[in-house]
Amino acid sequence: MSQEIGVVGSPDFTTGFRLAGVRQFANVPEEEKPDRLDEAVTEMFEDDGIGIVVMHDDDLDHLSRTVRRDVETSVEPVLVTLGGDSGGGALREQIKRAIGIDLMDE
């Protein structure tokens, strides 16, 4: 069984992924993030069909301490954050953790 990519975030963030064919997503409008983001992220991480969860880096600040710790230490699915000031080094580490090898190693 192949695993899918899941995307959690504002409708503006998820739209590009949906247009690219991602079928698993949770739209959480900005005004609902304090109340709904933990629930949406938890549901995504509990779905056995999802191998990678993508979120905007800034949305990590909206997660409760417990949920944030759980998703940041999760191996499967793995969390990949985009945007913010995390830079390419953080993405490289996330990919390495997800697949077990460093694709950019020379």
CATH number of the domain to which 18 belongs? 3.40.50.10580
**Within a domain: residue 104?**
no
**Within a domain: residue 68?**
yes
**Within a domain: residue 106?**
no
**Within a domain: residue 20?**
yes
Residue 85's pLDDT is 58
**Within a domain: residue 80?**
yes
Range of the domain at 49: 4-99
* Among 10-14, 43-47, 79-83, the least confident range: 79-83
CA torsion, points 88, 94, 99, 100, in degrees to nearest 10? 100
Residue 1's pLDDT is 59
Q: Could you tell me the pTM of the whole model?
A: 0.77
The predicted-structure confidence for 32-62, as pLDDT tens digits, reads as follows 998 999 999 999 999 999 999 999 989 999 9
pLDDT at 66 over 70: yes
**Within a domain: residue 66?**
yes
The residue written with tokens 């953790």 in the block is: 97
pLDDT at 103 over 60: no
**Within a domain: residue 51?**
yes
